[in-house]
Amino acid sequence: MTTAAPFVRFQRVSKTYDAGTSAAVRDLDLDVAPGEFLTLLGPSGSGKTTTLMMLAGFETPTAGAIIVEGEDISRKPAHKRGLGMVFQNYALFPHMTVAQNLAFPLQVRRAGRAEIAAKVEKALAMVRLEGYGNRRPSQLSGGQQQRVAVARALVFEPKAVLMDEPLGALDKSLREQLQYEISRIHRELGVTVIYVTHDQGEALTMSDRIAVFNKGRVEQCGAPNALYDRPANLFVAGFVGENNFLTATIAGSTDKQIRADGKAGTIFATSAGANTGTAIIAVRPERVLLDPAAGDTVTRLNGTVAERYFAGDHVRLVVRLAGDEEVAVKASRIDAEHLPEPGEDVVIGWRAADAFAFPPETTEAPPAPKSPKELQPA
């Protein structure tokens, strides 16, 4: 079975802005498959936007090669790369109508009048804005303007579409709606999409694969469920989704599991590189069980409910353990009337398969845990 050649290949690509003193992107090797939806995810300053700008042609790599369909485009002008671009601020021409905005990329490419009219009409239908062609951007909502921006990036049938935080300026409900719209368009057209965001929920919802950036490097790249369920290191565990982190000393281990002594008692977890010494145990709130059944590799810890919050689709408990460590628990709202109240003693725990033991030196420390109030839904 042959594997299709990558549509885009970053080959040992680096980018520095200060004569090599510090790198925005470091020795990046990354492939993008034809028709794939790849998201570049990471905090501010991690290198994700610089990577996208180098592919778009707005930045030039300091070292390495960017190859598209077998051609090194590292020094090729942006307008000759055949790539569509969607920005966070829409970048629509305010003095033009919607139809004129969509026609512009086609006019630049010297398309005929009939072709332009047909493609503009098709693009408006694709983003469900039929009948809006004569309006100006100022007469549209933010969500409608972003749909026009997406349509303009696709109207000339580019090789790929690059999106830089395209939904960052929209409110939560509209942002979620457009996530599904962009995903639908990607499925229908089969176009390659490379998408930049710092929003982990957005990345998990939309992507075929996610590349998690940190300090100019990719910490892990894989399918959303793989990153969420099997984080490669502490940074990914702390940045993708929410995790509880507990410090413990490993007392015994096998090839796959460890037993450790924590402040609150014995902890079982799957080894993620930690087999001796100190470990950081990561377990997601939805994997924490109330009064788990006893077993050879089941963690059971005594604690007291410190806080309880209604979070819409679940109830959130904050349980304080011995040594003042706190663990967040997501419980089904179906069982809300049977859940403990603040001040009640509880037993919490998890299966070894649902927690991961990382060595502290795997990468930098995970993000600082948020306070209970910060963790309440907006």
CB burial of residue 169 (10 Å; 0-12, 13-18, 19+): middle
Residue 314 covered by a domain: yes
Let me know whether 216 and 294 are in one domain: no
Token representation of residue 55: 């592919």
Let me know whether 47 and 85 are in one domain: yes
Residue 367 covered by a domain: no
pLDDT of residue 378: 37
pLDDT of residue 366: 46
pLDDT of residue 20: 64
Q: What is the pLDDT along the chain (378 residues), one digit of tens a residue?
A: 446 789 999 999 999 987 667 789 999 999 999 999 999 999 999 999 999 999 999 999 999 999 999 999 999 999 899 999 998 887 889 999 999 999 999 998 888 999 999 999 999 998 889 999 999 999 998 889 988 988 999 998 898 999 999 888 788 888 888 899 889 989 988 999 999 999 999 999 999 999 999 999 999 999 999 999 999 999 999 999 999 999 999 999 887 899 999 999 999 999 998 888 999 999 999 999 999 998 889 999 999 999 999 888 889 999 999 888 999 999 988 877 788 999 999 999 999 999 999 998 644 444 444 444 444 433
Residue 99 covered by a domain: yes
Let me know whether 91 and 198 are in one domain: yes
Angle of the 113-126 helix axis to the 98-108 helix axis, nearest 10: 130
Residue 345 covered by a domain: yes
Residue 238 covered by a domain: no
Let me know whether 171 and 250 are in one domain: no
pLDDT of residue 226: 94
pLDDT of residue 3: 60
Residue 199 covered by a domain: yes
Total domains in the fold of the chain: 2
Let me know whether 297 and 326 are in one domain: yes
Strands 355-358 and 265-271: parallel
Angle of the 98-108 helix axis to the 142-154 helix axis, nearest 10: 20
Range of the domain at 133: 8-229
Let me know whether 219 and 194 are in one domain: yes
DSSP letters for 310-335: E-SSEEEEEEEEGGG-EEEEEEEGGG
Residue 21 covered by a domain: yes
Let me know whether 78 and 173 are in one domain: yes
CATH number at residue 333: 2.40.50.100
In whole angstroms, what is the distance from residue 40 CA to residue 206 CA? 12
Query: Hey, how many other C-beta atoms are within 10 angstroms of the C-beta on 212?
Result: 27
Question: Where would I find the H helices in 207-352?
Answer: 224-229, 234-239
Let me know whether 185 and 77 are in one domain: yes
Let me know whether 148 and 190 are in one domain: yes
In whole angstroms, what is the distance from residue 31 CA to residue 269 CA? 33
Let me know whether 62 and 184 are in one domain: yes
Residues sharing a CB contact under 8 Å with residue 332, sequence separation 6 or more, in sequence order = 314, 315
Let me know whether 210 and 255 are in one domain: no
Let me know whether 220 and 153 are in one domain: yes
Sign of CA dihedral 105, 108, 109, 112: positive
What pTM did the predictor assign? 0.87
pLDDT of residue 244: 96
In whole angstroms, what is the distance from residue 246 CA to residue 232 CA? 17
Residue 292 covered by a domain: yes
